[in-house]
């Protein structure tokens, strides 16, 4: 389960203040904001700009550059499927197609029941036990279709 809370400007300000004195603090702050709120809300951008003495455009540029940062909350669960070559060599593409078909969701999208968001990932470093995936931060190796189906069913039930 993705553990996140509703947007609260005072909590965001606390997180930002926690990084006072950090050199080049933008990424650490953005990671912490996303960990707290499940995404980086647009409302956070001016707060960050103010704290780091940068323009809102600068901060927007940073947020939008990195694949990790989402501008909207994910589903109840987050499934990262590796799409890189080592996983391709042992059937990763077929698993990805299967997941997309079963969820009715493309890359970066959430199934209509809100259960699961499907994200592509380019390498989890689990290439010696491919195909690899990560569900809510838990790593999964030697993934096959039966296991993938079980993951999807469980995510929908919880």
Partner 1 sequence: MTVARFYVPADAGALAVGADAVAGALAAAASARGVAIELVRTGSRGLYWLEPMVELATPAGRVAFGPVTAADAASVLDAALGQPGASPLFLGATEAIAYLARQTRLTFARCGIVDPLSLEQYRAAGGYRGLERALTLGPAATVEEVVASGLRGRGGAGFPTGIKWRTVAAAPGDRKYIVCNADEGDSGTFADRMLMEGDPFVLIEGMTIAAFAVGATKGYIYTRSEYPHAIATMRRAITIARAACCLGPDALGAGRGFELEVRVGAGAYVCGEETAMLESIEGKRGIVRAKPPLPAHKGLFGQPTVINNLVSLASVPIILADGATQYRDLGMGRSRGTMPIQLAGNLRYPGLFEAAFGLTLGDLVEDIGGGTRSGRKLRAVQVGGPLGAYFPPALFDTPFDYEAFTAADGLIGHGGVVGFDDSVDMARQARFAMEFCAIESCGKCTPCRIGSTRGAEVIDRIIAGRNVAANIALVEDLCATMKFGSLCALGGFTPYPVLSAIRHFPEDFTRMSEAAAAE
By CB under 8 A, name the binding residues for partner 1.
23-28, 30-31, 52, 58, 61-62, 65-69, 80, 84-90, 121-130, 132, 134, 137, 139-142
CB of 157 to partner 1, least distance (A): 20
Pairing of β 133-135 and β 77-82: antiparallel
Residue 118: how many other CB atoms lie within 10 Å:
24
Q: Which is nearer to partner 1, 95 or 124 (CB)?
A: 124
Q: Which is nearer to partner 1, 67 or 72 (CB)?
A: 67
Q: What is the DSSP letter of 110?
A: B
Q: Which is nearer to partner 1, 13 or 54 (CB)?
A: 54
CB of 39 to partner 1, least distance (A): 13
Q: Which long-range contacts (CB under 8 A, 24 or more apart) does 53-59 make?
A: 54/26, 59/26
């Amino acid at each position: 389960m993705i553990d996140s809370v509703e947007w609260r400007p005072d909590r965001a300000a606390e997180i930002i203040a926690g990084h006072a004195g950090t050199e080049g603090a933008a990424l650490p702050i953005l990671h912490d904001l996303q960990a707290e709120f499940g995404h980086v809300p647009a409302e956070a951008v001016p707060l960050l700009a103010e704290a780091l003495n940068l323009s809102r455009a600068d901060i927007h540029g940073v947020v939008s550059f990195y694949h990790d940062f989402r501008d909207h909350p994910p589903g109840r669960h987050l499934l990262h499927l590796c799409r890189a070559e080592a996983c391709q060599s042992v059937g990763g593409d077929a698993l990805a197609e299967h997941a997309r078909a079963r969820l009715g969701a493309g890359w970066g999208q959430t199934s209509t029941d809100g259960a699961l968001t499907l994200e592509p990932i380019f390498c989890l470093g689990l290439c010696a036990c491919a195909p690899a995936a990560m569900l809510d931060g838990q790593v999964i190796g030697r993934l096959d279709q039966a296991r993938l189906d079980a993951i999807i069913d469980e995510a929908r039930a919880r």
